[in-house]
Structure 1
Amino acid sequence: MNEILVVSATESEARHVPERFDVLITGIGKVTAAVAVTAALGRYPEGRRPLVVNIGTAGALRSTHGGLYFPSTVINHDISSEVLRSLGHPVGDTLAFEDGDGTTLATGDSFVSDAEVRDALAVRADLVDMEGFAVASAAVHMGARCRLVKHVSDHADETAMDWPQQIDHSARMLAEWLVRTY
């Protein structure tokens, strides 16, 4: 087994990853991502789990953002953390990464294509996706290291509806980064 497990939500986002990498396609959304990553890491011996590298597209929450990002923080943006904490139930809704670039990724199950929703999220984050927090959370839970790598495909507004046409460009950029880095 390889020392790196490349994780992507869709086959399209991982289309250009070289065959030498183990690739896990999770499906879209937090639940499917968490279940798939947990199951895959369970097949590795404890203490010998690979580095999980989550590649994928993301919506930029600011017009100045574009290209590749390596988030330092990922938040689960669509859980009622404050309410649950006020009721006495601790909720882990933030994970940090030492090798990040200072950006924050917001993960949620909603496909953000509305500028008003985007602007509300921009108060807390730089990018938005639908799997990053779940992948990272599953990796941490299973004792594996994790790195998030996201390529901006849209600006989380009406341009997000062009996401299917943007995936191949993002997939190429992500694969090129993988080859240069690993």
Structure 2
Amino acid sequence: MRNVTKTTVYPPVLVVSATRAEAAHVPAGTRLLVTGLGKVTAAMALTGALTRAAHGVEPPVEWVVNIGTAGALHDHHSGLFVPSRVTEHDLDADVLATLGYPTVATWDIPDGDGSVLATGDRFISDSVQRAELARIADLVDMEGAALARVAAEFGVPLRLVKVVSDTADESAMDWPAQVDAAAHRLGRWLRGWAGG
């Protein structure tokens, strides 16, 4: 009788989430990377994964899909968004350019829904900060732009998928209680996207 070795098949899509809670309902067999919160940890984790894939240590990655929650910067925003643009709101790119150091701080994401995501290391839970960010974006998170920077550097297409979990004001401190409902919605989106 022949020995049959079971081979693990890795999908070419790498789903990236800041927390396990946000990825709690991804479909079985999903290739998942949990980065931790914030721009630095997200960038480090994705850089490591794409470097290993580029050097053949891990299977190739043809797409990066970042799933997660986001704060709504406008009262009429709710539900699931697939942003078309992401920007680092806490990087002073204009000042750096004036000083002679042009710096990319905004990335366009093809086939999005027209919304703009602002990314920064601050957890926005203040009405004044929310109003300032609402002038430049629809949503706010803590990882999207960092992942866009890394994906662009490696030449890997990126999709951002965000579910509104709070209104980025004082009520945002209730975020942990909203994550599971958002995770269910993200899981449903992934199942539909993979099937389409």
State the TM-score bracket (shorter-chain normalisation): over 0.9
Kept in 2, the 8 Å contact 1:14–1:55? The answer is yes
TM-score, with structure 2 as normaliser: 0.90
Counterpart of 1:7? 16
Kept in 2, the 8 Å contact 1:49–1:143? The answer is no
Counterpart of 2:46? 37
Q: 2:27 aligns with which of 2, 12, 18?
A: 18
Unpaired segments ≥5 residues, structure 1: none
Counterpart of 2:116? 104
Identity %: 54
Structure-2 separation of matches of 1:13 and 1:7: 10
Amino acid aligned to 2:86: V
Counterpart of 2:84? 72
State whether structure 2 residue 115 is matched by structure 1 residue 115: no
Aligned-partner SS, 1:83: helix
Amino acid aligned to 1:112: I
Computing the radius of gyration from Cα coordinates, the structure with the larger value is: 2
Counterpart of 2:7? none
Displacement of 1:121: 0.3
Kept in 2, the 8 Å contact 1:7–1:23? The answer is yes
Counterpart of 2:3? none
TM-score, with structure 1 as normaliser: 0.97
Q: What is the Cα-based RMSD across aligned positions, in Å?
A: 1.2
Amino acid aligned to 2:42: A
Greater than 2 Å deviation, 4+ residue runs = 45-50
Structure-2 separation of matches of 1:29 and 1:142: 20
State whether structure 2 residue 73 is matched by structure 1 residue 49: no
Structure-1 separation of matches of 2:55 and 2:75: 42
Aligned-partner SS, 2:86: strand
Aligned-partner SS, 1:167: helix
Aligned residues: 182
Structure-1 separation of matches of 2:62 and 2:31: 10
Counterpart of 1:160? 172
Displacement of 1:106: 0.1
Kept in 1, the 8 Å contact 2:14–2:61? The answer is no
Structure-2 separation of matches of 1:86 and 1:27: 33
Amino acid aligned to 1:8: S
